[in-house]
A and B are shown apart, each in its own frame.
Chain A
Amino acid sequence: MADPVSGRASGGDHHRRGWARHAVLIGLVIVLLLTIAPFLVVALNAVKTPADYATRGPIALPRSLNLAGVVEFWHRVDFTRKLVNSLVVSSAVAVLGVAVSVMNAYALGIGKVRGRIWFLFFFLAANLLPQEALVYPLYYLSKSLHLYDSLAVVIIIFTVIQSAFGTYLLSSVYDHFPRDLLDAAAIDGAGNWRTLVWIVVPVSWQTVSVLFAFFFIWTWNEFFLPLVFLISNDNQTVPVALGVLQGQRFMDATTTSASALIGILPAVAFFLLFQRTLIRGVTAGAIKG
């Protein structure tokens, strides 16, 4: 117990503590600054005039706060329209995806329908599939159904992809749903639908709201399928509109940082809005790399 070696080690520890305490904190602050530096550099340069950028480069502080570049870029790409498109797609997918997930999970987790393990496997596999495996047939089919280049087709596809994950997650939650609540509802004469709407959804509201937040943000961030399906300017979402502009002739340094800034701002806004739900969700295992 009073081992001289460990005694000396812990004494040394104590002696070093004041110094180490700050060294560790400084190290962490440096890592944090490296993490957020790209955001700062973007903000710094988005508010510069092109002339200021040309003479003093990207790492100098701006001489003055100039929002002309941001405003001009906003109008040029009709950013309001892209924001509305992204909002419509993400909200619709979040609502429909949650609705489908809840219904699937109700049948699998609480209803325990026959073959539930296979259904769960199926939904898990559907979520794991790379989108490349689906993209060309979906492109071909949506063209023949005259759905190509519409927000509707993107909403339908992502409702399925997101709800595949939601079904898997929510079924495991509903597996452990308190049985006495269901029995009480049955004794009161509530049918399956009423039990779902008035008992199951309110009781599991925490998980449901986590799913909603994740579906919204994941759909907002999606790039590959919206890139393929939304080709006309009027239908593009924010990431697609900004992504396809890179490398265009008019994208000079300040315009590029302006475009990055207006792409970052909504994401940071959602982060602040959903922060607690997101962290809780990642914590609960509602996760995706």
Chain B
Amino acid sequence: MARGLGRSGYLVFLIPGLVLSIAVVVVPLAMTIGVSFTRWQGVGMPSWIGLTNYIRLAHDPSFWASFRHIALLVVAMAIIPTLVGLVLATLLFDYVAVAFSSRTASVFRSGFYLPQVLPVAIAGIVWGWILHPSYGALNSLLQAVGLPSLTRNWLGDPDYALYSVMAVLVWVQIGYPVVVFMAGLQRIDPEVYEAAEIDGATWRQRFTNITVHLLKPEIYVVLVTTTIAALKIFGQIFVLTRGGPGDATLVPSYFAYKNFFEKANVGYGSAISTVLTAIILGLSFVFLRLQARGERSNG
């Protein structure tokens, strides 16, 4: 059979996908990078200003603040959910499913996963209302249990706003690692645990030496995907705080949005987006290389 002919016969299947991707991804990305070297209000002709936008970025405290906030959001979206998720998943798999039933364990799993299915904007509305300083449920609860000194303007006080946002993000994210880790635990041979138990390993020893060790691929995937999601975060910030008060919860994507659509600084917004894109693609490249190396050394 003419295999060469068969191969090129498959090329037509790529045409719709490629044409669409060029129109929606390649051309716009090239335009954003190009515009980042210009001053442009969105009308008329952009005027070339070279690296001026990037030099301005390097001296813009808002830009640096937005990346500092991202570092904390990575803690809230990637690191804390991974650690808590490991403990929850192990307890559900190794304990609840055994001591009670696997049905009980999957009810817990579904409950923890529920916040993940909410649209981010809706999660923002829910928490914006719960954390509202005057009529929100959290402050009312604190009053009711006799702790009025703990009430705060959770999202409106620059000292607390970012931490409140972090707490909301932990709530949103927790279910994802639980589901992934519980699935990963299915792979693990129960005899490994039984043997360890007979050898007198405590629960904590089994957790660190067996569970965490065997779940390494899942932990890696969860950390990578949630870190990238944290870098891209927009919806929660838009609905909860709009980056405020001041710049207290500003993130790069909202910073770019403000320059594009509120200030009509399209060139500057494009420079922010270009830097963010470079960071995300660079990090993803590093992650993929590390993963490939890990697979080679394991296999």
Question: Chain A 102-130 against B: per-residue CB contact (8 Å), 1 yes, 0 no?
Answer: 01101110111110000100111110111
Contact of B121 among A21, A223, A228 (CB under 8 A): A223
Chain A, Cβ-Cβ closest to B3 = A112
Q: Tell whether, in the assembled complex, residue A35 and residue B119 are in contact, meaning their CB atoms are under 8 Å apart.
A: no
Residues of B within 8 A of A253 (CB): 129, 132, 135
Q: A137-B27, A156-B24 are in contact. Are A131 and B232 (CB under 8 A)?
A: yes
Q: Tell whether, in the assembled complex, residue B235 and residue A243 are in contact, meaning their CB atoms are under 8 Å apart.
A: yes
Residues of A within 8 A of B67 (CB): none
CA distance A26 to B124 in the complex (A): 29
**Nearest chain A CB to B129's CB is how many angstroms away?**
5
Q: Tell whether, in the assembled complex, residue B24 and residue A57 are in contact, meaning their CB atoms are under 8 Å apart.
A: no
Q: Tell whether, in the assembled complex, residue B119 and residue A220 are in contact, meaning their CB atoms are under 8 Å apart.
A: yes
B96 within 8 A of A: yes
Majority SS at the chain B contact face: helix
Question: Chain A 221-251 against B: per-residue CB contact (8 Å), 1 yes, 0 no?
Answer: 1111001100000000011101100100000
Q: A136-B260, A243-B239 are in contact. Are A113 and B11 (CB under 8 A)?
A: yes
B207 within 8 A of A: no
Question: Chain B 67-106 against A: per-residue CB contact (8 Å), 1 yes, 0 no?
Answer: 0000000000110000000001001100110011000000
Q: Tell whether, in the assembled complex, residue A35 and residue B114 are in contact, meaning their CB atoms are under 8 Å apart.
A: yes
B190 within 8 A of A: no
CA distance A141 to B42 in the complex (A): 11
CA distance A167 to B141 in the complex (A): 48
Q: A38-B130, A126-B25, A134-B29 are in contact. Are A283 and B179 (CB under 8 A)?
A: yes
Question: Chain B 211-226 against A: per-residue CB contact (8 Å), 1 yes, 0 no?
Answer: 0000000000110011
Chain B, Cβ-Cβ closest to A288 = B225
**Nearest chain B CB to A214's CB is how many angstroms away?**
11
CA distance A122 to B32 in the complex (A): 18
Q: Tell whether, in the assembled complex, residue A106 and residue B13 are in contact, meaning their CB atoms are under 8 Å apart.
A: yes
Residues of B within 8 A of A268 (CB): 114, 117
A267 within 8 A of B: yes
Majority SS at the chain A contact face: helix
A208 within 8 A of B: no
CA distance A251 to B168 in the complex (A): 21
Question: Chain B 224-252 against A: per-residue CB contact (8 Å), 1 yes, 0 no?
Answer: 01111111101100110000000000001
A91 within 8 A of B: no
Q: Tell whether, in the assembled complex, residue A287 and residue B24 are in contact, meaning their CB atoms are under 8 Å apart.
A: no
Question: Chain A 49-79 against B: per-residue CB contact (8 Å), 1 yes, 0 no?
Answer: 0000100011100000000000000000000
11 more A-B residue pairs beyond the given contacts A53-B135, A136-B28, A260-B129, with a C-beta to C-beta distance below 8 A: A35-B112, A59-B141, A104-B13, A112-B7, A129-B29, A129-B277, A159-B20, A160-B21, A192-B13, A224-B257, A260-B125
Residues of A within 8 A of B (CB): 3, 5-7, 9-10, 13, 21, 24-25, 28, 31-32, 35-36, 38-39, 41-42, 45, 53, 57-59, 100-101, 103-104, 106-108, 110-114, 119, 122-126, 128-141, 156-157, 159-161, 163-164, 167, 186, 192, 196, 217, 220-224, 227-228, 238-240, 242-243, 246, 252-253, 256-257, 259-260, 263-264, 267-268, 270-271, 275, 278-279, 282-283, 285, 287-289
Residues of B within 8 A of A (CB): 1, 6-11, 13-14, 16-17, 20-21, 23-25, 27-29, 31-32, 35, 42, 77-78, 88, 91-92, 95-96, 99-100, 108-115, 117-122, 124-130, 132, 135-137, 140-141, 144, 171, 173-176, 179-180, 183, 197, 199-200, 202, 221-222, 225-232, 234-235, 238-239, 252-253, 256-257, 260-261, 266, 269-270, 272-274, 276-277, 280-281, 284
| CB pairs A–B below 8 angstroms (29 shown) | A10-B197, A24-B96, A25-B96, A28-B91, A28-B96, A35-B175, A38-B171, A57-B144, A59-B137, A59-B140, A100-B20, A103-B16, A111-B9, A122-B21, A129-B25, A131-B253, A132-B256, A134-B28, A160-B23, A167-B17, A223-B239, A224-B235, A224-B257, A256-B125, A267-B119, A268-B114, A279-B113, A279-B183, A282-B179
